[in-house]
Amino acid sequence: MATVDTESRRVPLIQLDIPLERDLFLRNLIRELSGVLEDIVGLKEASGFISIVGQNMGNQMDLDYKKALGVSRLTRAQVADVLVDLKGRIKGDFYIVEQNDNRIVLGNRACPFAAEVVGRPSMCMMTSNVFGMIASQSLGYAKVTLEETIARGDRGCRVVIHLQPGAESEAAPGQEYFQS
Amino acid sequence: MDDKSLENLLPEPLLLLSSEGRVLDMNQAARKAFGGLDNGSKLHDLVNEPAKLEASIRLWVRSGEFLRGLVVVTSVAGERYITYGARLWVDRSSPAQVIVRCYVESAANRRFVEITRRVNALNREIACRQQAENQLFAEKELAQVTLNSIGDGVITTDIEGRVNYLNPVAEALTGWSADEARGLQLIEVFRLFNEQTREPVENPLGHVLVHGNTVGLANHTMLRHRDGTEFAIEDSAAPIRDREGRLIGGVMVFHDVTHARRLAAKVSYQASHDGLTGLLNRRAFEQRLHSLLDAPVGVDGSHSLMFLDLDQFKVVNDTCGHLAGDALLRMLGPVLQKHLRQSDLLARLGGDEFGVLLQDCSVSAATRIARALKEELENLNFTWEGKPFRVGLSIGQVNFTDNSWSLADLLSAADNACYLAKENGRNRIHLYSMDDQALAHRFRQTQWVGRIRDAFEENRFCLHSQTIVTTASASSARPDQEGGHFELLLRLLDTDGKLVEPMAFIPAAERYSLMVSIDQWVLETAFAKLARAGSNCVSTCSINLSGASLGDEGFLTFIYSCFERFAVSPRVICFEITETEAIANLSKARHIIQTLKALGCRFSLDDFGSGMSSFGYLKNLPVDYLKIDGTFIKNLASDPIDRAMVAAINNIGHVMGLKTIAEFVESASVLQELGELGVDYVQGYGIARPEPLETYLANLKKGDYHQPQPGLH
């Protein structure tokens, strides 16, 4: 067993209080990657890169949920539930604030990236793209507005998913997603 | 896309793709970058990894925001573009379309390209400048080498007159090296002064820097070398201007003319001074006198001119030789000079004659000086090889106070006064008076009487002959066939062996009634020589007759006797009488002409035209030839009036059945004119020079007729 000499005694390394475990390691990895990206290519470009990653992951999750539910398309209610569920699976704490044919509003109390997300708004593109992908593929259109984000320093997140292209969605900031 | 649409204004390529990646449309920049990519073709052709393009298109179809594609597109020029695509939303029912924007691979790459472009531009600029600098350097080198090589001194200064540059010649002439002189004021380095006053002269570059124009150096400018050596220099100073014409400095160009100036001074000295005594020569003396006469009359403009003639000089020369004579003459300069004032001029006029000009000198002072000169020479002890000689001075003095005198009159007056001083017993001063001119003239003529008589006694007269030819034969250089035609010319062989022209002694002979004797001597001598030579080779012998002979009662008798005594045909004899003498003795002249013509002699009217009263008399003088006065002939080719006169005389002569003769023919142009005018005969130096009669006759006998002068031009 690996040990280390201290002043008077030998202590096993496994017993050392080191903040390192896989989940934390991966979150830190993503935080560092996004930090470097933001520093080098700028926030906008970094957001673009993460968007691609988010889209790919969202696409995979969309396929996984449809397969698991045995449907080719999700209903609006299913979409809302899937979004809350998938976030819960990765230690997020999302909840449905409201939903109707025009929009789904979700709240969040905990970020899956935990404290590592603070100061890294590009990482929010993961949420935007995953939500936008799943919603648009089943409902035809989605525009995701991140009204509040823990990454930007808000206490929690508030995410609005516009489901109809129109005056309301156009007036709102955010990214649009389309059915492929 | 519409050509005028905004998309076409975008610098980056823009593509509209279908969801299969097929190009639906593109902007101008895309057409330019992706040449060959037409509408309908697939973007896959431009990428290396089509799978990634498919993935990218899938992303773009879903995204309303531009997302970076996973592939790069390469342009025909090899440039790599990154892609950003997004879904072009129309409505739910429309097929999916994707807008793709293409950017040069990275901002860094763009910057690199831009920097490279700028670096290349800068390199080109640097290369141009380098080339210009090289060229400038080469030109500067060339200018430097040129300036270093030329024989002139060159100094350049800035606008303040501080030295910038000296070339090697300037360094040598000033004694300053370029390094030492740089920054110094030019006047410290280039020290000029006037050769004559020795005063510093204004540096011309100062003028140039103030006025900006080129100036030459003043005459007699000298340059003082740093070590004190002096150089005579010449040349100029000029401004230096920049391209805009602004004055930025000056250049001084100069060269050493010390040698040339010395040479010029020497030549000038030699031209104005007598080589033996070092005194002024006659030419310079007369020039000074001329200047004095030309100058405005001053308040006390009283001057005196003296001609000095050394008595007994001939004795020194004859007994001791020319060396002794030269020594005496050399000695005289300083001896005479010490009695003259600073401003007086002493010159050797020739031989043993000297001239003195006392300018602004009162009569009393002039008289005192003349006496002092005479007394000085009386007391002069000149010895040669132990042999003492006494010499004296005959002085002719003319005091004059105004410039009404001509130079010739003044010289003649002094000459005559000096002549009279000698005639009056030598070693004396003769002050000019109004009567002197005639007196001296008479003295001289009287003197000639003795000389003419001596010449008779010593048989020192001689005859020369000058050939006369037809104008045609003179032009074609063919000898006349009819025999020798010539004029007899009288000469006197002086005691010193020189030939004296008749004009020197004829006036005296006329005045003292010696002309008849001279004419008779000429006739006798000529007839004797013609008879001896045999007159069949002579066609015409022209003999001048004086007015005195025309009026002499016994003249015809004398001529008859000549024909009797000598075997000479009257037909070869032609008497020449002058127009003026014939008219003066008209009746006797007519008689003589008629009588002698009856014998077969011919007559020629000499110097025709000079009297200008003679046309009317021509009818009364039955002559055979008109000899046109030489004064009309000399300038015939250039003077239209002379030409008209000659034409008139020639025409009248021909109308009257006379032959015309032109004398003083000295050039081919005159000969040509005479030929054109139709004058019959020509005579002059251009045809043949006079030669002793014996020689001429001997040549005639040998059949060697006149030979036209080959040098006639």
In a domain, A112, yes or no: yes
In the three-class reduction of DSSP (H, G, I as helix; E, B as strand; rest coil), residue A158 is classed as strand
Answer whether B437's CB lies under 8 Å from B412's CB.
yes
B255's CB contacts (< 8 A; 6+ apart) are B151, B152, B153, B169, B233, B234, B235
CATH for A160: 3.30.1380.20
Q: Which residues contact B624 (CB under 8 A, 6 or more apart)?
A: B574, B602, B603, B604, B658, B659
CA dihedral A35, A39, A45, A48 (to 10 degrees): 0
Q: How far apart are CA B380 and CA B335, in angstroms?
A: 9
Question: In b/e form, how buried is each residue of B603-612, taking b as 16+ CB within 10 angstroms?
Answer: bbbbbbbbbe
- CA nearest to B92 within chain A: A140
Question: pLDDT band at residue B316, thresholds of 50, 70 and 90?
Answer: confident
Residue B488 pairs in a beta bridge with: B465
Number of Cβ atoms within 10 Å of the Cβ of B3: 8
Structural domain boundaries enclosing A146: 20-178
In a domain, A13, yes or no: no
DSSP B637: T
Q: What tokens does B525 get?
A: 């001598």
**Integer distance in angstroms from the first to the last C-alpha of chain B?**
100
CA B658 to chain CA mean position, Å = 47
Q: Is residue A126 part of a domain?
A: yes
* Count of domains for chain A: 1
Whether A142 is covered by a domain: the verdict is yes
State yes or no: pLDDT of B712 exceeds 60: no
Min Cα distance B16 → chain A (Å) is 17
Residue B64 sits at the chain A interface (C-beta within 8 Å): yes
Provide the token pair at B417.
Answer: 């006064």
Mean pLDDT of chain B: 84
Query: Is B632 in contact with B647 (CB distance < 8 Å)?
Result: no
Residues of chain A with Cβ-Cβ distance to B68 below 8 Å are: 45, 48-49, 52
Residue A9 lies in a domain: no
B692 Cα distance to chain centroid: 40
Yes or no, beta carbons of A180 and B89 under 8 Å apart: no
Give the pair of three-digit tokens for residue B359: 């300018």
Look at residue B713 and tell me whether its pLDDT is greater than 50: no
Residues of B within 8 A of A140 (CB-CB) are 92
Distance, CA of B359 to CA of A129 (rounded, Å)? 130
Q: How sure is the predictor about B679, in pLDDT bands with cuts at 50, 70 and 90? A: very high
Reported in sequence order, the residue ranges of B34-108 that DSSP labels E, i.e. its strands, are 67-74, 80-88, 97-104
Query: Are B62 and A178 in contact (CB < 8 Å)?
Result: yes
H or E element that contains A6: none
- Which has the higher per-residue pLDDT, B436 or B479? B436
Task: Give the Cα separation of B103 and B124 in Å (integer).
Answer: 28
Whether residue B700 contacts residue B533, with contact meaning beta carbons closer than 8 Å, is answered with yes
- Among candidate residues B374, B583, B574, B591, the one with its CA nearest the CA of residue B488: B574
Does a structural domain hold residue A12?
A: no
How does pLDDT run across B107-132, given as a tens digit for each residue? 545 554 555 566 566 667 777 887 88
- Facing residues of B221 across strands? B194
- Whether residue B59 lies within 8 A of chain A, CB to CB, comes out as yes
Running DSSP on this structure, what letter comes out for residue B479?
A: P
Which residue in chain A is spatially nearest to B66 when comparing CA positions? A48
Please indicate, yes or no, if residue A60 is contained in any of the structural domains: yes
pLDDT in the model for residue B704: 62
Question: pLDDT value at position B710?
Answer: 41
**CA B266 to the chain's CA centroid:** 20
Q: Is B324 in contact with B316 (CB distance < 8 Å)?
A: yes
d(CA A93, CA A111): 7
Query: What integer pLDDT is reported at residue B540 of this predicted model?
Result: 92
Give Cα separations from B630 to B288, B607, B611, B661 (angstroms): 35, 7, 13, 10
What tens digit of pLDDT does each residue of B141-175 get?
A: 777 777 777 778 889 999 899 999 898 889 989 99
Identify which has the larger pLDDT, B461 or B294: B461
Quote the minimal CA–CA distance from A180 to chain B in Å: 6
> Is the pLDDT reported for residue A24 higher than 90?
no
In a domain, A8, yes or no: no
CA distance A48 to chain B (A): 5
For residue A69, what pLDDT is reported? 92
Residues of B in contact with A146 (CB under 8 A): none
Distances B460 to A25, B96, B454, B690 between C-alpha atoms, Å: 156, 149, 8, 18
* Contact call for B63 and A141, based on CB within 8 A: no
Q: Is the pLDDT of residue A30 over 90?
A: no
Q: What is the ipTM of this complex?
A: 0.73
pLDDT at B419 over 60: yes
| Three-class DSSP category at B623 | coil
* Choice between B125 and B467, residue whose per-residue pLDDT is larger: B467
Asked if A180 and B62 come within 8 Å (Cβ–Cβ), the reply is yes
**Chain B residues close to A126, C-beta within 8 Å:** none
- For B446-459, the pLDDT digits (tens) are 677 778 888 888 88
Sheet holding B80-88, edge to edge: B23-26, B14-18, B97-104, B80-88, B67-74
What's residue A67's pLDDT? 92
Identify the structural domains of chain B with CATH numbers, from first to last.
Answer: 6-105 (3.30.450.20), 150-262 (3.30.450.20), 298-433 (3.30.70.270), 467-488+516-691 (3.20.20.450)
Nearest to A176 among B64, B70, B84 (CB): B64
Tell if the CB–CB gap between B67 and A48 is shorter than 8 Å.
yes
| Interval B265-282 mean pLDDT | 87
Return the higher-pLDDT residue of A14 and A79: A79
Q: Which pLDDT score, from 0 to 100, does residue B123 have?
A: 67
**Is B58 part of the contact surface with chain A (CB cutoff 8 Å)?**
yes
For residue B297, the surrounding DSSP H or E stretch is: none
